[in-house]
Structure 1
Amino acid sequence: MPNLRRDLGMLRERRFALLLSARTVSVLGSAFAPVALAFGVLALPGASATTLSVVLAAQALPMVGFMLIGGVIADRMPRHRVMMAGETFNAIAYFCLAGMMLTGWTPLPALVSASAVSGVASAVMYPALTGIIPDVIPADRLQTANALLGLGANISRVAGLVLSGAAVVLLGGGWALAASGVMFAGAGLLITLLRLTPSERSGDAGRSVLADLRDGWREFVSRQWLWVVVAQFSILLMAVEAAHGVLGPLVAKQHLGGAPAWAAVLTGEAVGMIVGVVFTLRLRPRRPILVATLLTLPTALPYLLLGVAAPLWTVVLGAVVMGVCFDIFGVLWSTTMQREIPAESLSRVSSYDALGSLMFGPIGLLVAGPVAIALGPRPALIGCAVIVVLASLAALLFPGVRRLRAPVEATAPSPSQVVG
């Protein structure tokens, strides 16, 4: 209990509370987007799985393409201002998507353009978010901070997914997308209140962008655990993007009753991520990357269950397991990066992390529609599950993944809480 009170005491610290609030509101907005956008596009006259693939890929490609520049910007400029810009552009993008859906003017080039703006905004914002946490939180409290940020985000995902499913059914995808825009705008306003002193801001404006990128690359490739897991996720997330973005909604529409069923699956995942926070607040594994990588194996479960036509409730339970595993992975991964990577390079290294992890995601989105037409969405989902398992097993072959140990101070809880 004293440890729990100390953890929750971070909520009284103004800067962390502002960061937590902004992140929570932003995720609430983004939680509306998958259901609203997927079923909004699929409901358009003449739309198909390929149409949805193109719109989602238009969001993912710029996010991948601008990620490295986003890392340089976040290491040079005040990170709270970079995050504010990202939230603002996300709000603009979703207001445009909502306007198109509500007015019925939905030419594919316009949908693609608005999605691309959102992708650029995410590319700018993600490296800044990763880098700003050590600017705000002492090193010995990073895992707790990451866990609490995850808790707020996961609660928002649950609320957003439940509400978005209802909004799509009752009001339509346009109003759900408009709600996303309002949330992003609110998050941007909260970020404006976060101030960092000049000593907490990294970067050297006198250096070239290429020099900054080379320095970040050296930091990235010098750590085997880092580039191996990023390579693993480049394959894993290709399968996840295909399954979550296209194949899952297709199976839900064809066999499970549509948007409410898919919202239930996504909600199960979000609930699992909330449960995962309970573990991450106290879990201090000696080998955090080994434990994190092992936990990616069960994330194939919901795709396998969807692929074999299991009942919806079992798919939801599989999504809960996926959520628990991904939450623990995310906290262990972020905390390890923040401890192991120098603060002045953290946003650039995180941009290489994001770029490598996400670079094949657009391929997954683009091929998911044609593969679903050629093979059927359920066999394609089984293929996604196999890809997830094989990528995870391959990562475990590398000694850097298995052997990296956390600092001694990170293993302070009792022996019963030490794993790995």
Structure 2
Amino acid sequence: MSAVARRFGALEERPFRLLWSGQALSDVGNAMLPVALAFAVLQVTGSLSDLGLVLAAALVPRVLLLLAGGVWADRLPRQIVMLSADLVRALSQGALALLLLTGSARLWHLLVAAVVYGVAQAFFGPASTGLVPETVAAARLQQANALVSLTRSTLNVAGPALAGVLVAAFEPGWVFALDAATFVASAVFLVALPLPRRNRAGTNEAFVAQLADGWRELRARTWVSASIAYFSIWNLAIAPFFVLGPFIAREELDGASDWGLILAAGGVGAIAGSLISLRFRPRRPLRAGYIIGTLTALEPLALIRPLPTAGIAAAAAVAFGALTISNTLWLTALQEHVPREALSRVSAYDWMGSLVFMPIGYAVAGPLGEAIGLDATLWTAGALLAGASLAILAFPSVRNVRRFDPVPDAGLTVPRLTPQ
């Protein structure tokens, strides 16, 4: 078998191939949505403030309902949860497309569609995290996660450009219609997905009790709770790059074109990180991942008295690549070491911890930059990103998490003891 075939070997397994195909089609629409949404709001209201309101309308219910999504993804077949979320989003996006194309859309339509989308995402995310290990052999789990990341990273580069062409040639409503169609396509692949029966959280157990069980699974693994705390800090600290970066690009560089180039370079770096993750399998994945994660500090630091555009773009490429590798190693470790019947609940806590401080970071980055200066804010962000990535290694349980290794000639996996 060639080296290339080995890297994509997870696609040889039909369940994962079906899951990956459906998600790839869905990600096409997701990657185009930010551009289409921005121009849809401008078309309907012409207000940038309304765009922020619509974005918040999608984020808030997602954060609030993630834990509920995790519980239901452990109680029910995960593909059913994902299928339901896809169909809900298909109906919502399709209805909004019709309103936009007929000129009937109003702000409240956009807000309702955003809320529905956020609710569906809250259920889809934890179910998706839990479903991947059920579709692929344990020895190929990291490869499967890397392939999902590779596809998403590639589409995140190409999707906005495609959306821009479609919006310019037609109008935003057609992008929403295409997004709805991709959710239908994803649902078709989920229907075709054959999966073995698995142990699920008892449906007779109270909802709160199941939520508490998920919390106990998390607390029983110090490396998981420490990692979620780290992700919260990381998402808080990265905000100045995205908030102050456009301002610096306008004042010190060549404006929006240079900022677009920087973000595109970050997308290319994420693709490279996904390709590296197909083969890079350290014995202690979290130790390697968080050491690599220190490179994400390059993003804000490159904006200080800024480097030339090419230098900032190179820093973004390295940082996004490092982030992708670190995320892939983390996700694989979580899926390998957390019991399958509790995985969606634990991943819901992970998602919530990762998202909860993100709006705060975006809200305070601008005022902080005005209060203490741009350079001081960016230095603080860089120090937090690098410092948190190193500080988490003080936990022995984080350093000592090991990957699963296949048993030679048996096609099985040997579970190593998970550090507590």
Q: Pick the TM interval, shorter chain.
A: 0.7 to 0.9
Q: When the two structures are aligned, how many residues end up with a matched partner?
A: 408
8 Å contact from structure 1 (residues 238, 358) kept in 2: no
Match of 1:55 in 2: 54
**How far apart are the structure 2 equivalents of 1:170 and 1:138?**
44
* Partner residue in 1 for 2:212: 214
Q: Which residue of 1 aligns with 2:272?
A: 275
Q: Which residue number corresponds to residue 305 of structure 1? A: 302
Q: Secondary structure at the match of 2:394?
A: coil
Cα offset, 1:74, TM superposition: 0.8
Contact kept? 2:335, 2:343, Cα under 8 Å: yes
- Give runs of aligned pairs for residues 194-343 of structure 1, distance below 5 A: 194-197=193-196, 199-200=197-198, 202-240=200-238, 243-244=241-242, 247-248=244-245, 256-258=254-256, 262-306=259-303, 308-343=305-340
Give the equivalent residue in structure 1 for 2:88.
89
Q: Distance in 2 between matches of 1:270 and 1:314?
A: 15
Structure 2: stretches of 5+ with no match in the other structure = 410-420
Structure 1 residues 253 and 176, CA gap change in structure 2 (3 angstroms): farther
Deviates more, 1:310-319 or 1:170-179: 170-179
Query: 2:178 maps to which residue?
Result: 179
Secondary structure of residue in 2 paired with 1:66: helix
Distance in 1, Cα, partners of 2:260 & 2:188: 28
Asked if the contact 1:63–1:120 (Cα under 8 Å) also holds between the matched residues in 2, the reply is yes
Corresponding position of 2:145: 146
Taking a change above 3 Å as real, the CA distance of residues 262 and 191 of structure 1, as seen in their structure-2 partners, is: farther
Letter paired with 1:324:
G
* Per-residue deviation, 1:157: 2.2
Q: How does 1:13-28 map to 2 (within 5 A)?
A: 13-28=13-28
CA deviations on 1:62-109 (whole Å, 9 max, x unpaired) are 111111111111111111111112223333444455566666667554
CA separation of 1:319/1:107 partners in 2, compared to 1, >3 Å: closer, same or farther?
Answer: farther
Give me the whole-angstrom Cα distance separating, in 2, the residues matched to 1:61 and 1:89: 18
Residue 355 (structure 1) aligned with residue 335 (structure 2): no
**How much has 1:279 moved relative to structure 2?**
1.9
Q: 1:89 to 1:390 in 2, by over 3 A?
A: farther
Aligned twin of 1:402: 399
Cross-structure match for 1:418: none
Identity %: 39
Letter in 2 for 1:224: T
- The 5 Å alignment of 1:67-106 reads 67-95=66-94, 98=97
In terms of mean alpha carbon deviation, does 283-292 or 305-314 score higher? 305-314
Query: Given the alignment of the two structures, is residue 134 of structure 1 paired with residue 139 of structure 2, yes or no?
Result: no
Query: TM-score, normalization: structure 1?
Result: 0.84
Q: Deviation digits for residues 355-391 of structure 1, max 9, x if unmatched?
A: 1111112323444566678788887666544443343
Letter of the 2:47 counterpart: A
Q: What letter matches 2:198 in structure 1?
A: E
Deviation, 1:53, is 3.6
Contact 2:35 2:160 in 1 (8 A): yes
Larger Rg computed on CA atoms = 2
Deviations 1:22-42 (A, max 9, x none): 121122221112333346557
Deviation, structure 1 residue 407 = 3.8
Matched, 1:346 2:332: no
Check whether the contact 1:284–1:411 (CA below 8 A) recurs between aligned residues: no
Aligned partners of 1:158 and 1:373: how far apart in 2? 31
1:58/1:277 CA distance change after superposition, 3 Å: same
In structure 2, distance between residues paired with 1:411 and 1:251: 54
Q: Please give the root-mean-square deviation of Cα atoms over the aligned residues, in Å.
A: 3.3
> TM-score w.r.t. structure 2 length?
0.84
Residues 290 and 363 of structure 1: is their aligned pair in 2 closer, same or farther, counting only changes over 3 Å?
A: same
Q: Distance in 1 between matches of 2:261 and 2:283?
A: 35
Superposed displacement of residue 400, structure 1 = 2.2
- One-letter amino acid of the counterpart of residue 279, structure 1: I
Sort the Cα spacing of 1:384 and 1:104 in 2 relative to 1 into closer, same or farther, 3 A: farther
Q: Partners in 2 of 1:372 and 1:249 — Cα distance?
A: 13
- Cα distance, 1:86–1:227 mapped onto 2, change above 3 Å: same
Instruction: Show CA shifts across 1:144-169 (max 9, x none).
Output: 22122222222222321332344455
> Which letter maps to 2:229?
A
Residue 290 of structure 2 aligns with an amino acid whose one-letter code is T
Per the alignment, in what secondary structure is the counterpart of residue 296 of structure 1? helix
Per-residue deviation, residues 110-158 of structure 1 (Å, max 9, x unmatched) = 4333222221111101111111112111222211221222222222223
Instruction: Identify if the C-alpha distance between structure 1 residues 385 and 256 changes in structure 2 by more than 3 Å, giving closer, same or farther.
Output: farther
**Equivalent runs, 1:145-164 vs 2, <5 Å:** 145-164=144-163
- Map 1:374-413 to 2 at 5 A: 384-409=381-406
CA contact (8 A) 1:86 1:124 kept: yes
SS in 1 for 2:302: helix
8 Å contact from structure 1 (residues 28, 160) kept in 2: yes
Q: Deviations over 1:190-245 (max 9, x none)?
A: 22221324x2362321111111111111110111111111101112113445644x
